[in-house]
Amino acid sequence: MDEKTLIAKRVALELSDGDLVNLGIGLPTLVARYLPPGIDVSFQSENGIIGMQALPAGQPPLKDLTDAGGTPIGATPGACAFDSAMSFGLIRGGHLDVTVLGGLQVDELGQLANWMVPGKMVPGMGGAMDLVSGAKRVIVAMTHTAKGTAKILKRCTLPLTSVRRVDLIVTELAVIEPTADGLLLRETAPGVTIAEVVAATEARLIIPPDVPTMPLAA
């Protein structure tokens, strides 16, 4: 199983029946593939749709039906589309149950940096700042390191997306919960030791006496 699939399968277990969920561009979109049986959630995209789904096999893409990253998508029966003002009204008004976002860095305060690398051309911050500030629950789905460099740091060195503490970090090595006391190691990935997680993490981790192996969606 590749790293991104493992992360997506673990994040899928955090979603509850009836949730309104925003999936960020890239890795987070994979979460929709692994919803547990009996869990019915509505996926929202900040460019203006509730009820998006992966483009069904064999269905030609429609140029006006895309996610926020411009990737062609499908729509579930009963889906609705609306303008950006309505979309961000939902986000800023606190109506999203969960947002799942990628990350460049997260620090010991649980603060996320995920929208730019200084000196590199980027199209803009998109809806990331609104999503982190407005969603009821923020889950960061990202790889634990980048080219061997830790992404979970004492303090973020990249521009912050928000000063809000995110609710959960899921990587291919571990599940980590930011708390008022610091980063709590909740689970390790199958076959991964606590020592390996600590070695790949710059930030200090709070390690409880018992750290279970992370479960994965089917």
Catalytic residue numbers?
Answer: 46
User: Which residues pair with residue 174 across a beta bridge?
Assistant: 188
DSSP, collapsed to helix, strand or coil, labels residue 26 as coil
Residue 98, amino acid: V
The pairing of strands 98-101 and 20-23 is parallel
Which of 58, 71, 56, 64 shows the shortest CA–CA distance to 23?
71
Q: Which residues contact 181 (CB under 8 A, 6 or more apart)?
A: 206
CA distance 32 to 65: 17
Q: What is the phi/psi pair of residue 9, to 5°?
A: -65, -35
